[in-house]
Amino acid sequence: MTGGTAEKLQSSEPTQGIVETITDGVTKGVKELVVGEKPRVVPKPGDGQKIYEIDPTLKDFRSHLDYRYREYKRIRAAIDQHEGGLEAFSRGYEKLGFTRSAEGITYREWAPGAHSAALVGDFNNWNPNADAMTRDDYGVWEIFLPNNADGSSAIPHGSRVKIRMDTPSGVKDSISAWIKFSVQAPGEIPFNGIYYDPPEEEKYVFQHPQPKRPESLRIYESHIGMSSPEPKINSYANFRDEVLPRIKRLGYNAVQIMAIQEHSYYASFGYHVTNFFAPSSRFGTPEDLKSLIDRAHELGLLVLMDIVHSHSSNNTLDGLNGFDGTDTHYFHGGPRGHHWMWDSRLFNYGSWEVLRFLLSNARWWLEEYNFDGFRFDGVTSMMYTHHGLQMTFTGNYGEYFGFATDVDAVVYLMLVNDLIHGLYPDAVSIGEDVSGMPTFCIPVPDGGVGFDYRLHMAVADKWIELLKQSDESWKMGDIVHTLTNKRWLEKCVTYAESHDQALVGDKTIAFWLMDKDMYDFMALDRPSTPRIDRGIALHKMIRLVTMGLGGESYLNFMGNEFGHPEWIDFPRGPQTLPTGKVLPGNNNNYDKCRRRFDLGDAEFLRYRGMQEFDQAMQHLEEKYGFMTSEHQYVSRKHEEDKVIIFERGDLVFVFNFHWSNSFFDYRVGCSKPGKYKVALDSDDALFGGFSRLDHDVDYFTTEHPHDNRPRSFSVYTPSRTAVVYALTE
């Protein structure tokens, strides 16, 4: 384990005095934060011992886990002592960066490595001698610009600003680490920081309350830029007006938006962040984003942000890398500070100011933009010094609690989950972790990391593995095991495929299933092919069994609900690698960087049936809430018949994966007596099926035990179909 947190915080302790320098008044007389009638507070730490009751196996690793919790409590105590508590500490954006008062503008930046600093921009003709900054004992540079004589701001709204520093690496212009907006001028590569302070009449005012968190999340994973059917970069406004109503109609109750934090390289999918507090200007203004979120709330949709705190862009011109001319400003120095596969910088989570920066960043998006929660990207990379690379996790607990574990990073995750759940009780926290870290979804006071959900990444990998095999090789028990293999009391977000599987170099499930036949045989006025029939049938079945058995929440990447053809390829030019090898680009073409929603809507195409099925599946979950039902029982996983049968709540799911065999009078075990009706049938003609079932038939149970169930009823189960039977009144 990395036990350096205490050492690092002690060595940087003078920066804790920043509270006396720049937060005077923040902890005194701050406005009371209220949810309903109750003040919002971050709960005090618990004893961290309940994890051993939940999972007794953890007792063998008590020394590591107790050390982890002591570190968490020690840092919480230090924040309480030096910063006035986590609530005040997480509002760094109120003092650092640009802040406006009645008298003028104050700009502060933490850059301890700089020898001198000046504020430059359009407002002073980029004159480095006009507005020199002063440095305090803790490495914070500061300048105050009084209002102009007419009372107007010294820096006009929308004008370009940077900080010019003389550093150990030379003189450089940098965008403020706390900048709220940045843009890329036509013909230029680096972005420019923008002083963003619109007049009151231009500021967006939220009109609609944030929805209450639903019991089960049905998440529509989205990317603003590629959300248009046209080959272009789409806008916040168009997404608000065109895509949000579609998401609502399809039956999803949450939208997860990627690539919000500004990133200079569009093809990074938003994961190489350059400006952490700035929403991407490619899609519009901050006010446009607020309007989008407000409209989503009006529709009853939660808005989750795909937030990147696991690494940072390698850019030095418009990112955090080498900000103050040193290698160790926000990041670890040397190899530990570089992610060799992602070509990005890695945060030093043991640094006091890094904690302030990242905690304030999470707070900013919840407070300023009314996001309803986060999907934390790359959490596995954060929690281990090997970043999960070239590492196979077998489930041995020693893999999670050893010297390769970055305790600093895990403690940061505990702190940020503390903050989120303390100040925003309805906010959602999802962690992308492929390792299966125990305690991941246990509350922090009980000794856990504190996430609400783990992203269940193994399921998508399993489907790709199976799609490379023949149908005869599919093992029903293997499918069930993968879908249900999770820790007790741990909630999961499950998906059959996400954006990862859609990227160039990989294939979506639809493309794995139907491949080149999708180009010629998706029109209803042309005969189908066996590959198309198989593909459409399995596309529906895979999604339903994943939602039915996989977890408490479900995710789908936009367009995949109707089997979007081909792949995602961002516009890009040729790229020269450090080795000198040149990777060809695609002539900056947007053709593969869009979503052809028109295909799913076209009544003359077979895509329409898959979209209709996905919509019916979402509305079935809305009606019955089966993903969070306490009652779940798998009664059959028959390898010869290729049949899976399970119960969730008052529903019975019957899957026949056999490629040719249909079964008459097939007995289905169940627990509850009464009459069952077909609630969803993947073979319905509306969904592109063959209508082999009569939906008017009533299915009455008999006291005939079957598959360890006390009762049963008989059904006809056609090949390659999934049917859901609901207990009626």
Alpha helix ranges (H) inside 128-175? none
Q: What is the pLDDT of residue 39?
A: 65
Q: What is the pLDDT of residue 18?
A: 39
Distance linking the first and last C-alpha atoms of the chain: 57
For 540-568, what is each residue's pLDDT tens digit? 999 999 999 999 999 999 999 999 988 88
Instruction: For domain 92-202, give the fold.
Output: Immunoglobulin-like (2.60.40)
Among residues 412, 726, 721, 294, which one has the least CA distance to residue 536?
A: 721
Mean pLDDT of 495-517: 86
Q: 600 φ, ψ to 5°? A: -70, -25
Rounded to whole angstroms, what are the CA distances from 291 to 241, 263, 472, 478? 10, 21, 51, 45
Q: What percent of the chain has pLDDT over 70?
A: 94
Q: Return the half-sphere exposure (C-beta side, CA atoms, 13 A cut-off) of residue 134.
A: 7
Rounded to whole angstroms, what are the CA distances from 484 to 260, 436, 546, 551? 32, 13, 10, 7
Alpha helix ranges (H) inside 403-485? 407-423, 458-467, 476-484
For 703-723, what is each residue's pLDDT tens digit? 999 999 999 999 999 999 999
Rounded to whole angstroms, what are the CA distances from 45 to 48, 153, 329, 430, 651? 8, 44, 30, 21, 41
| Model confidence at 577: pLDDT above 90 | no
- Mean pLDDT (the chain) is 92
Q: What CATH code is assigned to 217-624?
A: 3.20.20.80
Torsion of CA 654, 660, 664, 668, to 10 degrees: -20
- The conformation of residue 239, written as its DSSP 8-state character, comes to I
Q: Give the per-residue SS3 of 368-423.
A: HHCCCEEEECCHHHHHECCCCCCCCCCCCHHHCCCCCECHHHHHHHHHHHHHHHHH
For 217-253, what is each residue's pLDDT tens digit? 999 999 999 998 999 999 999 999 999 999 999 999 9
| Model confidence at 380: pLDDT above 90 | yes
Where are any strands of DSSP class E within 478-601?
492-494, 553-557, 575-576, 582-583
For 245-260, what is each residue's pLDDT tens digit? 999 999 999 999 999 9
Tokens of 85: 């508590």
Strand partners, 429: 374
Q: Return the half-sphere exposure (C-beta side, CA atoms, 13 A cut-off) of residue 499.
A: 26
Q: What is the pLDDT of residue 40?
A: 75
| Model confidence at 270: pLDDT above 90 | no
Q: Give every CB contact of residue 88 below 8 A, 6+ residues apart in sequence.
A: 23, 26, 27, 30
Mean pLDDT of 130-153: 96
Mean pLDDT of 121-137: 97
Q: Return the half-sphere exposure (C-beta side, CA atoms, 13 A cut-off) of residue 669.
A: 16
Tokens of 238: 């168009």
Contact between 135 and 12 under an 8 Å Cβ cutoff? The reply is no
Q: Is 720 helix (H, G, I), strand (E, B) or coil?
A: coil
Lowest mean pLDDT among 459-463, 613-617, 683-687: 459-463
Lowest mean pLDDT among 25-39, 141-155, 346-360, 671-685: 25-39
| Model confidence at 192: pLDDT above 80 | yes
The residue type found at 424 is Y
Q: Is 496 helix (H, G, I), strand (E, B) or coil?
A: coil
Mean pLDDT of 448-475: 95
Torsion of CA 487, 492, 496, 498, to 10 degrees: -130
The residue type found at 667 is R
Per-domain residue ranges of the chain: 50-88, 92-202, 217-624, 632-727
Q: What is the pLDDT of residue 590?
A: 86
- Give the C-alpha separation, 582 to 444, whole Å: 48
Where are any strands of DSSP class E within 442-528?
453-456, 492-494
Mean pLDDT of 650-671: 97
Q: What is the pLDDT of residue 284?
A: 97
Q: What is the pLDDT of residue 190?
A: 87
Secondary structure element (H or E) that encloses residue 669, with its range:
strand 663-670
pTM reported for the whole predicted model: 0.93
| Model confidence at 286: pLDDT above 50 | yes
Q: What is the pLDDT of residue 502?
A: 74
Q: What is the pLDDT of residue 505?
A: 64
Pairing of strands 632-638, 582-583: unpaired
| Cα angle 324-309-357, degrees, rounded to a multiple of 5 | 50
| Model confidence at 488: pLDDT above 70 | yes
Torsion of CA 267, 271, 275, 278, to 10 degrees: 90
Tokens of 148: 């102009």
Residue bearing the bigger pLDDT, 13 or 180: 180
> pLDDT band at residue 507, thresholds of 50, 70 and 90?
confident
Mean pLDDT of 161-190: 94
Q: What is the pLDDT of residue 319?
A: 94
Lowest mean pLDDT among 30-44, 519-533, 671-685: 30-44
Architecture in CATH for domain 632-727? Sandwich (2.60)
Q: What is the pLDDT of residue 591?
A: 85
Mean pLDDT of 495-510: 83
Contact between 652 and 670 under an 8 Å Cβ cutoff? The reply is yes
| Model confidence at 38: pLDDT above 90 | no
Report the 10 Å Cβ neighbour count for 26: 18
Q: What is the pLDDT of residue 19?
A: 38
Report the catalytic residues: 377, 432
Q: 221 φ, ψ to 5°? A: -75, 130
- Give the C-alpha separation, 126 to 24, whole Å: 31
Q: What is the pLDDT of residue 445?
A: 96
Contact between 120 and 164 under an 8 Å Cβ cutoff? The reply is yes
Q: What is the pLDDT of residue 21?
A: 37
| Model confidence at 13: pLDDT above 50 | no
> pLDDT band at residue 660, thresholds of 50, 70 and 90?
very high
325 torsion bin: left (phi>0), alpha (psi -120 to 50), beta (else): left
| Model confidence at 580: pLDDT above 90 | no
- Give the C-alpha separation, 410 to 75, whole Å: 12
For 40-91, what is each residue's pLDDT tens digit? 788 889 999 999 999 999 999 999 999 999 999 999 999 999 999 999 999 9
- Give the C-alpha separation, 378 to 376, whole Å: 7
Among residues 238, 240, 365, which one has the least CA distance to residue 309?
A: 365
For 414-425, what is each residue's pLDDT tens digit? 999 999 999 999
**92-202 and 217-624 share one CATH topology?**
no
- Give the C-alpha separation, 198 to 69, whole Å: 44
Residue that the structure tokens 């295909």 belong to: 599
Residue that the structure tokens 């019916």 belong to: 616
